Chain A
Amino acid sequence: MHIVDRRLNPGGKSLANRQRFIRRAKSLIKKSVHEASGGRSIKDGDSGGELVLPGQGVREPSLRRAATGGIRDHVLPGNKDYVTGDEIPRPDGGGGGSGSQGSDDGGGEDEFRFALSRDEYVDMFLDDLELPDLAKRRIVNTEVVSYQRAGYSVSGSPTNLALMRTVRNSLSRRIALHRPKAEEIEQLRDEIAALAPDARELRATLEEELARKLRKTTLIPYIDPLDVRYKRFDPQPRPAAQAVMFCLMDVSGSMTEHMKDLAKRFYILLYIFLKRRYKNVDLVFIRHTHTASEVDEDTFFNSPETGGTVVSTALEEMRRVIADRYDPAAWNIYGAQASDGDNTASDNERTVNLLLQHILPSCQYYAYLEVGRDVEHFPPGFIRRDSDLWQTYDAVVKSGAPLAMRKVGHRRDIYPVFRELFARKVGSEAATA
């Protein structure tokens, strides 16, 4: 008999099968991922999780008998009080308590439940997307220089002295040039001291020898400038590994729950996307009516406010937070603003100025999402007019400023719009993380 220990065999033997399965079920999974994202908070939007797939696309059909109809005979265990000839009403489900047959045929695969890992989840979510214009702006903004060890050099600052290497060089030089060791000289001196007073000739030879060695010692230094080595550091440009995402939202009375839900979905997508590129992603929530304030996530989405709508207050607040905490040189700043498009007419100019002067120059990306009512509920014959804010921002975009804006009316549009905003452009340099 052999006993084979297979525990240390590489795991994940069925990884290839799993990947094939996911590839096959991709469109189904994408849909589920999309739907599942609704019920999550922004922060755990990317933690993977359990998905439920409709059984159709991954069904394995076979030729088998139908579960109902026809004449069937069953043998069942556990008879208690039936006698031959009894009639029993047929239970619901048609299988008639048919045991193995019932469970074999009973289509247990109509829904298929399984768990995706975080990476698989995010990959599904963000397939083919990339951060816009990152390649261009990174040179200016998203790089910090860090120093990395890169071998040794013969010059450098004393703090970078490579002691081991220096001593090693010195040692090999001393051996090569036969520099007398301290012990040898000591031994010689001892020998001379121990000589009998009459051994003059021997004393003379030994003293000559000693003098020669001492001379050599001074000629060949213990450490020569030639030996000295310094640790060399190379400057390495590195993308800044942190980003901050500003969520701006109008919370005045005209924003319905539906609109907030749309905005939330968009924020989740953006957060997951950023999270994939950056190690740390900070979230800043700024809500505004006619005044703006920074709040936590829960308040942001859930507590209602009343008041007018002055968009510039939110931008002002964002500017203040950036100045306070997020130096654009060290942070990648992303802004996403959601609004139903209302703004006090007199505020538009100030909004544009703030955007152009302060916000856009410090941001990697700024997206404006106009959330509307479910389009299907619009009264027929009603012509939609572009909102105040849309017109204002539209002018900004036309002037060439890097601002992205989209309208979303229904939950199902969120994902396409997001994809549209971040779709990998043909020929553009892929932003490698």
Chain B
Amino acid sequence: MSTTLKTPRPLFEGADWEFATVQRCHDAIQAIAVGEMGLDVYPNQIEVIGTEQMLDAYSSIGMPLFYKHWSFGKHFARDEAMYRAGMQGLAYEIVINSNPCISYIMEENSATMQTLVIAHAAFGHNHFFKNNYLFKQWTDADGILDYLEFARDYILSCEERYGETAVEALLDAAHALMSHGVHRYPRARATNLRMEEKRERERRLHDEQVFNDLWRTVPGQSSVRLDPTALERRRALLQLPQENILYFLEKSAPRLAPWQREVLRIVRQIAQYFYPQSQTKLMNEGCATFVHYKIMNRLHETGQLTDGAMVEFLRSHTNVVFQPDFDDRRYAGINPYALGFAMMQDIERIVTEPTAEDQQYFPDIAGTGDAMAVLRDIWANYRDESFILQFMSPRIIRQFGLFHLHDNADTPNMKVKAIHDEMGYRAIKRTLARHYDVAWNTPDIQVVDVDLAGDRKLIVHHRAMNKIPLDERDAKLVLQHLADLWGYDVVMKEIDSETDTLMKEHVASPRSGALGG
């Protein structure tokens, strides 16, 4: 390897590549990423795929194997139509948080693009997956592929036994509640996905063993006393209030068959697996973009990348980190690549060449000198929200021209509350951080109470933040699904979180045979 560094021979010339080229690029990148930048990555597995396979991968949320459901067919159909019409390009790569870390690269890419993709996905994302605390805490990279295989086979066997319609109806309902099927805070034990299949068997076995028909005949059950503590006890038994609706249904819904509970569990586990990704989009992309930028520049410096390839890379890189202004027609929110990359670069600058302002805002890291060590620590221990709160510098706010716009539906005009000045920095930082706070973004919905001995009506509360109600049409549909799963009436109350006043109430009753009988 050291010989490659001494003799400045380019890794490749021209756009063509073959497997040996990919291998060479990977090795050269690894030397820089691990040797110079100190990244810590899972072993890489690089898979070469074609366009259609990329579309396939898109439609199953990027996973190499997945259970079957019509909604994936819908996404495939739409992506394909868009792609064929030329309205949407395909991603250059997809990377999977697994061990080994699987990256898909497209056969159409040029050699430069393959190098970029390997640096970006196989080292940038890979390092982030392996080291960020959220991924460590919530996902099991060793077991995910096995679990997905188990999920696919289990759902397939359910389809064979109970019919496709029944499984499809169940999955429809589960998918509708997927966004509220995650635990936001870690519970006592860590999840171990690999053991799922075994545990599913054990759970069933245990249920069968402890089943005793005699319990049904024990007298005295009807004498339910309604003392004030009964309500509290009931709620404690059912672990209420519960914000993980799928978990609650899996454990407590009275009318679900065991296989239906298991399917809910599968959907819930997968939602949980993707939960960290939604909280670290900005950092993840920022980290990967920063890593690929560093690596590509190092390759060029050491003569391993030709000038032509470097120009091609820069063109692509510039497109990726382009941030249109808010009044631009192309504006579609803040580009996580742009902001993430800019912040990473800014941190590097603060660590190495701080200004007086930086000294004031970031006394801990300013001027410490080892940029990579600081960045590695940040990548490991923060998520988007805390990352912005801690590390967004005034300089970045000025660079992006960020401003805070306050929009109250009761007033005719919107108001500019803060701009990039001394008074505005903190307000902008705080508001922007909230945008990346998943707990703030997804509506706060909790199962509050249910009387299992009475009419079994399920009571769900939505505590509306800032008086923003749920989208009515969707809420009705989801509530219908919830009622179908629960098996009895469901009422959802929308409560203004500031004043505790009732804003709206939705009611749904289960449809008979909605889950296929």
- Within A62-94, the residues touching B (CB, 8 Å) are 62-80, 82-90
Stretch at the interface among B199-207, B252-260, B461-469: B461-469
The answer, yes or no, to whether B219 is at the interface (CB within 8 Å) is no
The answer, yes or no, to whether A224 is at the interface (CB within 8 Å) is no
Q: Flag if B466 contacts A6 (CB, 8 Å).
A: no
Q: Flag if A77 contacts B334 (CB, 8 Å).
A: yes
- Within B157-215, the residues touching A (CB, 8 Å) are 164, 168, 175-180
Closest to B118 in A: A1
Q: Flag if A72 contacts B445 (CB, 8 Å).
A: no
- The number of residues on chain B lying at the interface, defined by a beta carbon within 8 Å of a beta carbon of chain A, is 99
Q: Flag if B470 contacts A64 (CB, 8 Å).
A: yes
- Within A203-252, the residues touching B (CB, 8 Å) are none
Closest to A86 in B: B416
The answer, yes or no, to whether B415 is at the interface (CB within 8 Å) is yes
Q: Flag if B469 contacts A11 (CB, 8 Å).
A: no
Across chains A and B, the number of contacting residue pairs, with CB separation under 8 Å, is: 272
- Within B328-371, the residues touching A (CB, 8 Å) are 328, 331-334
Contact with A along B281-325 (1 / 0, CB 8 A): 000000000000000000000000000000000000000000111
The answer, yes or no, to whether B270 is at the interface (CB within 8 Å) is no
Q: Flag if A65 contacts B415 (CB, 8 Å).
A: no
| Other-chain residue from B80, B100, B164, B404 in contact with A115 (beta carbon distance below 8 A) | B80
Q: Flag if B402 contacts A75 (CB, 8 Å).
A: yes
Stretch at the interface among B43-51, B138-146, B228-236, B379-387: B43-51
Stretch at the interface among B67-75, B128-136, B449-457: B67-75
Q: Flag if B413 contacts A113 (CB, 8 Å).
A: no
A-side contacts of B68, CB under 8 Å: 16-17, 20
Q: Flag if B475 contacts A63 (CB, 8 Å).
A: yes
Q: CA–CA, A97 to B412, complex, Å? A: 15
Closest to A105 in B: B471
Stretch at the interface among A21-29, A126-134, A302-310, A346-354: A21-29
Output the least CB separation between B444 and chain A (Å).
10
Q: CA–CA, A6 to B400, complex, Å? A: 41
The answer, yes or no, to whether B251 is at the interface (CB within 8 Å) is no
Output the least CB separation between B173 and chain A (Å).
10
Q: CA–CA, A355 to B47, complex, Å? A: 67
Q: Flag if B471 contacts A64 (CB, 8 Å).
A: yes
- A2-B46, A85-B415 are known contacts. Are A79 and B73 too (CB-CB below 8 A)? no
Q: Flag if B470 contacts A14 (CB, 8 Å).
A: no
Q: Flag if B59 contacts A17 (CB, 8 Å).
A: yes
| Other-chain residue from A2, A72, A78 in contact with B326 (beta carbon distance below 8 A) | A78
- A4-B45, A71-B468 are known contacts. Are A61 and B478 too (CB-CB below 8 A)? yes
Q: Flag if A68 contacts B409 (CB, 8 Å).
A: yes
B-side contacts of A97, CB under 8 Å: 326-327, 331, 405
Q: Flag if A5 contacts B19 (CB, 8 Å).
A: yes
B-side contacts of A391, CB under 8 Å: none
The answer, yes or no, to whether A382 is at the interface (CB within 8 Å) is no
Q: Flag if A59 contacts B22 (CB, 8 Å).
A: no
Q: Flag if A66 contacts B472 (CB, 8 Å).
A: yes
A-side contacts of B475, CB under 8 Å: 61, 63
Output the least CB separation between B262 and chain A (Å).
21
Q: Flag if B177 contacts A3 (CB, 8 Å).
A: no
Please classify the interface of chain B as helix (H, G, I), strand (E, B), loop, or mixed, using the class held by over half of its residues.
mixed
Q: Flag if A69 contacts B43 (CB, 8 Å).
A: no
Q: CA–CA, A70 to B497, complex, Å? A: 12
The answer, yes or no, to whether B216 is at the interface (CB within 8 Å) is no
| Other-chain residue from A64, A67, A84 in contact with B423 (beta carbon distance below 8 A) | A84
| Other-chain residue from B26, B176, B404 in contact with A74 (beta carbon distance below 8 A) | B404
Q: Flag if A113 contacts B405 (CB, 8 Å).
A: no
Closest to A89 in B: B413
The answer, yes or no, to whether B438 is at the interface (CB within 8 Å) is no
- A70-B467, A71-B408, A89-B413 are known contacts. Are A113 and B400 too (CB-CB below 8 A)? no
| Other-chain residue from A1, A13, A20, A86 in contact with B45 (beta carbon distance below 8 A) | A1
Q: Flag if A99 contacts B331 (CB, 8 Å).
A: yes
Output the least CB separation between A14 and chain B (Å).
5
- Within B407-444, the residues touching A (CB, 8 Å) are 407-409, 412-421, 423-424, 428, 431-432, 434-435, 442-443
Closest to A23 in B: B70
Q: Flag if A20 contacts B168 (CB, 8 Å).
A: yes
Output the least CB separation between A96 and chain B (Å).
5
Closest to A19 in B: B73
Q: Flag if B176 contacts A18 (CB, 8 Å).
A: no
Q: Flag if B56 contacts A88 (CB, 8 Å).
A: no
Q: CA–CA, A66 to B324, complex, Å? A: 26
Closest to B106 in A: A7
Closest to A75 in B: B432
Q: Flag if B414 contacts A69 (CB, 8 Å).
A: no
B-side contacts of A80, CB under 8 Å: 325, 327, 401
Q: Flag if A72 contacts B53 (CB, 8 Å).
A: no
The answer, yes or no, to whether B9 is at the interface (CB within 8 Å) is no
Q: Flag if A72 contacts B44 (CB, 8 Å).
A: no
The answer, yes or no, to whether B110 is at the interface (CB within 8 Å) is no
The answer, yes or no, to whether B23 is at the interface (CB within 8 Å) is yes
Q: Flag if A66 contacts B470 (CB, 8 Å).
A: yes
A-side contacts of B374, CB under 8 Å: none
The answer, yes or no, to whether A186 is at the interface (CB within 8 Å) is no
Q: CA–CA, A16 to B168, complex, Å? A: 13
Other A-B contacts than A69-B467, A70-B466, A99-B333, 18 sampled, CB-CB below 8 A, are A1-B27, A12-B52, A14-B55, A17-B76, A20-B73, A21-B72, A25-B74, A62-B474, A71-B407, A73-B406, A74-B404, A78-B324, A78-B401, A79-B402, A84-B424, A87-B413, A88-B416, A90-B413
- For the complex of A and B, list the 3 residue pairs with the smallest distance between their C-beta atoms, beginning with the closest: A78-B325, A100-B333, A21-B73
- Which residues of B come within 8 Å of A, CB atoms? 19, 22-23, 26-27, 30, 43-50, 52-53, 55-56, 59-60, 68-74, 76-78, 80-81, 84, 100, 104, 107, 164, 168, 175-180, 323-328, 331-334, 400-409, 412-421, 423-424, 428, 431-432, 434-435, 442-443, 445, 462, 464, 466-475, 477-478, 481
In the assembled complex, 18 residue pairs joining A and B whose CB atoms fall closer than 8 Å, in A order, are A1-B43, A4-B46, A6-B48, A6-B49, A7-B48, A7-B53, A17-B69, A18-B76, A63-B470, A63-B474, A63-B475, A73-B405, A80-B325, A82-B416, A87-B416, A98-B407, A113-B78, A115-B77
